[in-house]
Amino acid sequence: AQSVSQHNHHVILSEAASLELGCNYSYGGTVNLFWYVQYPGQHLQLLLKYFSGDPLVKGIKGFEAEFIKSKFSFNLRKPSVQWSDTAEYFCAVKHSGAGSYQLTFGKGTKLSVIP
Amino acid sequence: DAMVIQNPRYQVTQFGKPVTLSCSQTLNHNVMYWYQQKSSQAPKLLFHYYDKDFNNEADTPDNFQSRRPNTSFCFLDIRSPGLGDAAMYLCATSRDRLGSSEQYFGPGTRLTVT
């Protein structure tokens, strides 16, 4: 069974600091990778996704993630965080292909940005 | 504009008293999912409907059931809630079940069992 590890449970940063959230997955085949964000009191929203092609993926609100196949990693980055980025971030993975509906999530990383 | 709607947002039920959570969608998606998320844990898939076809995850307890009367609505029934069933329940939809298909989530219903 595939699994997803997010190593940081809670990250606290000052505004304008750079962000990198780690994500590793265990599945050895072709995967589709996602980062979701959940702002306080709101629903999970897709931040970005990787299916194929350029391993550096750009998402909304200045976020990007890099797929490194050899490391089974899909780390999320942002050069300069804002207070409004305070949220919980979830990495998730799906197999590629038909019938591969199961979205496996990591436990999430809470990001607190201090003004 | 809300696309996946869950009601109620907060639900309190008594130990052993059946409870139903509801989800509706305006996306006309074929697939609807129910996830359980306990505090500080990853969302865990309970089951999903592909159109009218119900698909249960192997480790989902029998206490959890679901109904999908039409494309737009899906219900989660907990027949006899235990204290361990207190959690956030998330509904999600997707156009199909392909690995590349994005899932859209509702805001969740937080269930408390007293």
Q: pLDDT, tens digit, for every residue of B30-67?
A: 999 999 999 888 899 999 999 999 999 989 999 999 99
Q: Which residues of B touch A53 (CB under 8 A)?
A: none
Hey, which residues does A12 pair with through a beta bridge? A112
The distance from CA B53 to its chain's CA centroid, rounded to whole angstroms, is 15
Measured between CB atoms, does B108 come within 8 Å of chain A? yes
Question: Which of A95, A103, A104, A110 to mutate against chain B (most B CBs within 10 Å)?
Answer: A103
Residue B100 has its nearest CB partner, among A32, A46, A106, at A32
Tens digits of pLDDT across chain A (115 residues): 678 999 899 999 999 999 999 999 997 788 899 999 999 888 899 999 999 899 999 999 999 999 999 999 999 999 999 999 999 999 999 977 655 788 999 999 999 999 9
CA distance B13 to B83: 10
